[in-house]
Amino acid sequence: MLLSEMKQGEKGVVVRIAGKGALRRRLLEMGVVKGTEVFVEKYAPLKDPVELVLKGFHLSLRVEEAAQITVERSLQGTG
């Protein structure tokens, strides 16, 4: 599933980062790499951007940017 499809409070693991160019490179530089656990902390009031927690820091991405990241939902559930 796409990271942009996850709901608030869900955890997932990055499986793939699509796209090319500056966006992909920027995501990789910020630590969004295959195998990274991502927690969807919250969405902004108008559902864009989304605030994520990964590797001990908070990262806000536009929903269109999050749609470039494929994740596998964690079996641990929420929280």
* DSSP class per residue in the chain: -BGGGPPTTEEEEEEEE---SHHHHHHHHTT--TT-EEEEEEE-TTS-SEEEEETTEEEEE-HHHHTTEEEEEEEEEE-
Mean pLDDT of 22-46: 91
Q: Worst-scoring range by mean pLDDT, 5-9, 14-18, 48-52, 71-75?
A: 71-75
Rounded mean pLDDT of 46-51? 90
Q: Where are the domains of the chain?
A: 3-78
CATH node for 3-78:
2.30.30.90
pLDDT at residue 2, as a whole number:
94
**Average pLDDT, integer, range 45-49:** 88
- Statement: residue 23 has pLDDT above 60: yes
Q: State the average pLDDT for the chain.
A: 89
Q: What is the pLDDT of residue 76?
A: 59
